[in-house]
Amino acid sequence: MVARLEADGDLGPGPVREALLALPREVLMPQAYVRRSAADEMPPRWELLDWAEPDDREELLAVLHGGQSVLIQHDGEPLLGRPRRGRSGGGMTSMSTVMSLTSSLLEELALRQGHRVLDIGTGAGVTTAVACHVCGDQTVVTLDRDPHVTEAARARLGALGYGPTLVSGNGEHGWPQQAPYDRILITYALPYVPQACVDQLAPGGRLLVHVTTSSPSWPALAVVTRKPDGRLQAQLRAVEYAHRAGHGMNRLYLSAAFRQRIAAGCAEESEARAFRSVQAPPPDEARGFWLALDALHPGLVRHWGAGGLVSAHLAAAPGCLPTRTALVPGASPPAAHATSGAKFTRPPHVGGPPARPRSTTSLSKKAGNSA
């Protein structure tokens, strides 16, 4: 897995690489779910693989080292002492993030020995284990909203010889008891940067969190730093991939039926309007444009498998009509409408959800540039 991350450019030489090489993932995740039903089959069916079962080990190792998300909790269940059996219906409530995303964020944190780290969203404990390996476990705090996840992480990190501070609570409040922190990583997406977490940054500190709307199509990474003099600087960077939305956040869902409607362009006139333009919309790579448009017009969602349709689709969000935009063959997309890495003097949307603009008729060309 580490070699693949290096080959793909998601991991370079340094302490994060050494920590991942030293990490026995089967200790952190001795059980993991695999889906046994088709993607759109309802209700979904999962099987729990268990390292304690010799017949499961080959498949479990492939799951743990495949680089994809590892599903570790179903419907908020306790993780310790659960039986090996199938589950049907419900949903996955905790997982280990795709490793390419995890490794790139850990590298961007630039962890160093002695750093005080707050890891929000413990999950399987992978980022916490890396932070303990690099910084020392006595300066690491990890927080999860689910006490069952916290309990399991305490046992499994302890089995690796790590003793960070493990707590349960609301991640948006941070953990002021041991603030300030040199590094804060929030491992789920939010609609804004939590003010409490910004307040807990030490001078020279850095906070990373994915910021998203109700759409899963165009997320951003907020990078907040506190200067040595206490001033804040933030960068909102449109990205291709991001963490899943946090608990309770409403997201648009592209069901199989809705994807078919988008691809076929067969929505009834009463529920949709189709527009045809001589000028093509900006290309998919102009993520900053689409991020800004989505913020101004909540409800945009992109179906990436919809053939020649390049533009966004308005989903049936409150107050929105599903909209399909078609391209004229041969039309050339205009110049990019975004510059990568727009900088703000204050963190973007710090402290609460952004206010909806009074007018949505124009877009700034200085918006920053997963799916």
User: What pLDDT is stored for residue 40 in this prediction?
Assistant: 77
pTM of the model: 0.80
Please confirm, yes or no, whether 364 is among the known catalytic residues.
no
Region 150-163: what's the mean pLDDT? Answer: 98
The 10s digit of each residue's pLDDT in 202-261 is 999 999 999 988 777 888 999 999 999 999 999 999 898 889 888 877 777 767 776 676
User: Can you tell me the distance from the alpha carbon of 256 to that of 128, in angstroms, rounded to the nearest whole number?
Assistant: 36
Region 154-159: what's the mean pLDDT? Answer: 98
Q: Please, what is the average pLDDT of the chain?
A: 80
User: What pLDDT is stored for residue 294 in this prediction?
Assistant: 80
User: What pLDDT is stored for residue 349 in this prediction?
Assistant: 43
pLDDT over 50 (residue 327): no
Q: Are the C-beta atoms of residues 282 and 369 closer than 8 Å to each other?
A: no
Which of the residues 69, 94, 104, 215 is marked catalytic? 94
Q: For residue 291, what are the CA distances in angstroms to 212, 247, 299? A: 9, 22, 12
Of the CA atoms within 13 Å of residue 96, those in its CB half-sphere come to 26
User: Can you tell me the distance from the alpha carbon of 273 to that of 266, in angstroms, rounded to the nearest whole number?
Assistant: 11
Q: Are the C-beta atoms of residues 84 and 48 closer than 8 Å to each other?
A: yes
Q: How confident is the model at residue 312 (pLDDT cuts 50, 70, 90)?
A: very low
The 10s digit of each residue's pLDDT in 179-197 is 999 999 999 999 999 999 9
Amino acid at 319: G
pLDDT over 50 (residue 25): yes
The 10s digit of each residue's pLDDT in 41-93 is 889 999 999 999 999 999 999 999 999 999 999 999 999 999 988 899 988 99
pLDDT over 60 (residue 272): no
Q: Quote the Cα angle for 62-64-67, to 5°.
A: 90
Which position has the higher pLDDT, 363 or 297?
A: 297
Residue 201, strand partner residues: 181
